[in-house]
A = this chain, B = another copy of it.
Amino acid sequence: MALIVKKFGGSSVATTEKILAVAQRILSEKKSDDKIVVVVSAMGKTTDNLIALAGGIDAQPYKGDYLREMDMLLTTGEQVSIALLAMAFKRLGQPAISLTGAQVGMRTNSVHTKGRILGIKPKRVHDELNKGQVVVVAGFQGADKLGDPVTLGRGGSDTSAVALAGALKADECEIFTDVDGVYSADPRIVKNARKMKEITYSEMLEMARLGAGVMQPRSVEMGQFFNMPIHVRSTFTRELGTIIREDYTVEEKDFEIRGVAHDMKVAKISVLGVPNSPGIAHTIFQSLADANISVDMIVQSIRNIDRDINDIVFTINLTDLPEAKKVIAVASEKINAASVLVEEDMAKVSIVGAGMLGSPGFAARMFGALARADVNIDIISTSEISVSCLVRGSQVADAVNSIHDEFFPDR
């Protein structure tokens, strides 16, 4: 007997036909004494449609005191899909019951539309499993201490599933997606990218932070917190995918580098010709922080040592650029900068692997691979388990392929 939590996203349950197919697949894989919990998202474009509906009340529905009502609105999306999926199981002869986030005891804080899980008391889930029911749970949602519905923000259904698996002490949490696992690089760019059998939580988090879109970081952190293995696999095939876990169990140890990540949504801002005096960097970065803009890579270079003039260069997420331009225009005037240069066509390529910890050769091999591909490196940054290089956006494919060839040579 195993207790397994399975999560299916919105595209897997976009129509009633697909909902029936999901139920069928789960039953075909279920051993007779398995206990199954299925976490689902809203059907297809439901959430977008609900947001559009709110747009009929106010063109800007995502603000201030609307947010509680947005959660009241959006949580109906998953409530529809759980009801239909539970009916689908019953249609196929399998007893099943649907439960909302509130009903599975998913307690959140009250930060509407971006809630955090505070704890889970899944007594009702155990009760229903013990009655032989497949339990179908609304992802993406919980309830605060008043009992008000709260959504968990982007990737929230994955987070729900992993947290619920943890609280239930499940044997495994399966995340069904439209990709069939975690690859050594984006398969759309690197033809011979390899599907990993296993990857550690830390590596997966670093990959996600550096641009790999398979899993939202919060759900991986949740898996790490509960030490709950997360099996990322395809909705469309029965092949095994990639298991995210604390440590490797099999032979893949020999790849010290676990993956090559890239991020196209990078903008580079150079504040040129600023006086080399205390507080200058503080003025720039505090004003960005006040505007809630995260800064990624930072370089300060002394351009002219005689005249004591600096350049400060940093990168931000491209979506923050319009706001950042305004902020920097004000700040650069205040600090008397000579000029500001904005480059939108930048990208970051990174190598990730717990095996590189304390082994200095990896960065050099990466730079060599970039040189062979004729890719110029703009900025370099490192963490314990990654090295990142800022490059021209137009050179991303060349850069990623060359690095991948270096670390994952064809066998």
Residue of B nearest to A15 (CB): B56
Q: Main SS of chain A's interface residues?
A: helix
A69 touches B86 (CB 8 A): yes
How many copies of this chain sit in the oligomeric assembly? Answer: 2
Distance between Cα atoms of A143 and B123 in the complex (Å):
18
Q: Does A129 sit within 8 A of B, measured CB to CB?
A: no
The answer to whether B76 and A58 have CB atoms under 8 Å apart is no
Number of chain A residues whose Cβ lies closer than 8 Å to a Cβ of chain B? 41
Q: B15, B61, B88, B97: which contacts A68 (Cβ < 8 A)?
A: B97
Q: Which residues does chain B contribute within 8 Å of A15, judged by CB atoms?
A: 56
Q: How far is the CA of A70 from the CA of B86 in the complex (A)?
A: 10
A66 at the interface (CB under 8 A from B): yes
A284 located at the interface, meaning its Cβ lies under 8 Å from any Cβ of chain B in the complex: no
Beta-carbon contacts under 8 Å, A72-102 to B = 72-73, 75-76, 79-80, 82-84, 86-88, 90-91, 95, 97-98, 100, 102
Q: By the criterion CB–CB under 8 Å, are B72 and A98 in contact?
A: yes
Chain B contacts for A98, CB-based, 8 A: 69, 72
Task: Decide yes or no: A73 and B69 within 8 Å by CB, A19-B57, A53-B16, A56-B16 being known contacts.
Answer: no
Q: Assess whether A50 is interfacial by the CB under 8 Å rule.
A: yes
A47 CB-CB contact with B under 8 Å: no
The residue of chain B having its C-beta at the shortest distance from the C-beta of A60 within the complex is B91
Chain B residues with CB under 8 Å of A86's CB are 69, 72
The reply to whether A69 and B50 form a contact with Cβ atoms under 8 Å apart is no
Distance in angstroms from A261 CB to nearest chain B CB is: 38
One of B69, B79, B97, B147 near A83 (C-beta < 8 A) = B69
Other-chain residue from B17, B53, B58, B73 in contact with A79 (beta carbon distance below 8 A):
B73
A385 is an interface residue with CB less than 8 A from chain B: no
Alpha-carbon distance between A204 and B54 when the two chains are bound, in angstroms: 39
B147 touches A103 (CB 8 A): yes
> From residue A3, how far is it (CB to closest CB) to chain B in Å?
22
Q: How far is the CB of A143 from chain B (nearest CB, A)?
A: 10
- A170 at interface, CB cutoff 8 A: no
A103, B68: Cα distance in complex, Å: 14
| A54: B residues at CB distance < 8 A | 83-84, 87
Report if A340 contacts B (CB, 8 A). no
B68 and A84 form a contact (CB under 8 A):
no
B87 A66 Cβ-Cβ under 8 A: yes
Known: A16-B53, A57-B84. 11 other contacts (CB 8 A): A17-B56, A50-B80, A54-B83, A54-B84, A57-B87, A65-B95, A69-B83, A70-B83, A76-B80, A103-B147, A124-B146
Q: Show 20 residue pairs from A and B whose CB-CB distance is below 8 angstroms, ordered by the A residue.
A: A19-B57, A50-B80, A54-B84, A54-B87, A57-B87, A58-B87, A66-B87, A69-B87, A69-B98, A70-B83, A72-B83, A72-B86, A72-B98, A72-B100, A73-B79, A73-B83, A73-B84, A76-B80, A103-B147, A103-B148
